[in-house]
Structure 1
Amino acid sequence: MDNNNTIAGWVLAGGIAALGFSILSGKYFHADKYERPETMGYVIEGVESADGGAEEMPMSMMLAKADIAAGEAVFKKCVACHTVDQGGANGIGPNLYNTLGNAHGHVAGFAYSDALTSIDGNWNFDNMNAWLISPRKYAPGTKMTFAGLSKPEDRANVIAYMNSKGSNLPYPEPPAEEEAVDAGAPAEAEAAAAAEQVAEESVAADEAAAEE
């Protein structure tokens, strides 16, 4: 009888230890579950760009060389939730035909989040770019869980493609080339002056050596 009690005690102790280990490991591996949006909701492929880094080229310059066909390919990341053709149905997200130039939350009958509909103004190239970088940062509290597009050229291409779908807004004028040239002129002038000074000093040194 004592042996049976001893065995039962060890079995019970082992079960308690196993349960405790399971609980602890579960807390360890899932501790950040609610800190990571990508573990919740319907997430589409995309990478949210990090803050910082080199300053991006203005969207007006990106659009000047945007590729609509390439934008259509990028838009395939969106088709799980959106249609973009005229008369297309709403899905998890609204139909995106004729979005640029219209108000935030303009599609009748679609249940937008207050976070988006409360934003004043219409969709344009710049704020669409900001939205595609990170919807959660552009409209905190939005229902959209898309992580964002990290590459500026991808965003420019998909914006150009969306613009071709019913909006057809004229692209903003990129900065004139001479402005870019003028911006670099001071540095180039300083470099040229320094090179000229070095050359003059070298000639003077040679002349002094010849006189000796």
Structure 2
Amino acid sequence: MKTAIYASVAVAMFALPAVAQDAANGEKEFRKCKACHMIQSPDGTDVVKGGKVGPNLYGVVGRKAGTAEGFKFSDALIKLGEAGEIWTPEDLAGYVTDPNSYVEEKVGDKSLKTKMTFKLAKNQADVIAFLAQHSPDAGAAPAADAATPAEPAAPATN
């Protein structure tokens, strides 16, 4: 069973770049999320009014896991952040698909559980495209398949 979950998370993570992302559809899909989450800019402007059970998702893409100001995170998310997790679109897709399995795979500790019980079964890429629109550091988040920068070319000699 766990293998099937990991396989579906991996498929979601690697399929994301190939899937057309529709932020407008993601905004509609985000209705499922706003029972627990809001998107509020640092100046206090509500992008999406929502619950406060979960952290504010403004700026989530490109942010270190477990570090949103004003929210008490589970030990699982704190450990994930301590391990260096920066929320890329691919990582968020894996996380929202199955939060506890994702953290277990990344941190390697079955005893750690997140507070997020909801699993987003479809349209992850669309929701994340919507969140990226409200994440000033989204461009700073490294892509999962980002290549290592090449060495500068040696000057040509004649």
Give the structure-1-normalised TM-score: 0.50
Shift of 1:52: 5.0
Aligned to 1:113: 74
Q: 2:31, 2:96 → 1: CA distance?
A: 14
Unaligned runs of 5+ in 2: 104-111, 146-158
Aligned to 1:85: 40
Aligned to 1:96: 57
CA contact (8 A) 1:84 1:96 kept: yes
Shift of 1:109: 2.4
| 99, 115, 120: which one aligns with 1:135 | 99
Unaligned runs of 5+ in 1: 1-48, 175-212
User: What does 1:7-156 correspond to in 2, within 5 Å?
Assistant: 50=5, 55=11, 58-62=15-19, 65-86=20-41, 87=44, 91-119=52-80, 120-121=83-84, 122-139=86-103, 140-146=112-118, 148-151=119-122, 154-156=123-125
Aligned to 1:165: 134
Distance 1:79 1:85, change over 3 A: same
Partner of 1:71, secondary structure, is helix
RCO greater where, 1 or 2, for CA within 8 Å and sep 6 or more?
2
Shift of 1:173: 10
CA deviations 1:135-162 (Å, max 9, x no partner) are 121224111111x1222xx000000000
The structure richer in helix per residue is 1
- Identity over aligned residues, as a percent? 32
Structure exhibiting the larger radius of gyration computed from Cα positions: 1
Partner of 2:77, secondary structure, is helix
Aligned to 1:181: none
Distance 1:118 1:52, change over 3 A: closer
CA deviations 1:147-196 (Å, max 9, x no partner) are x1222xx000000000001336349599xxxxxxxxxxxxxxxxxxxxxx
Alignment coverage as a number of residue pairs: 121
CA contact (8 A) 1:104 1:117 kept: yes
* CA RMSD in angstroms, aligned pairs only: 2.8
Give the structure-2-normalised TM-score: 0.66
Shift of 1:50: 4.9
Q: 1:98, 1:52 → 2: CA distance?
A: 28
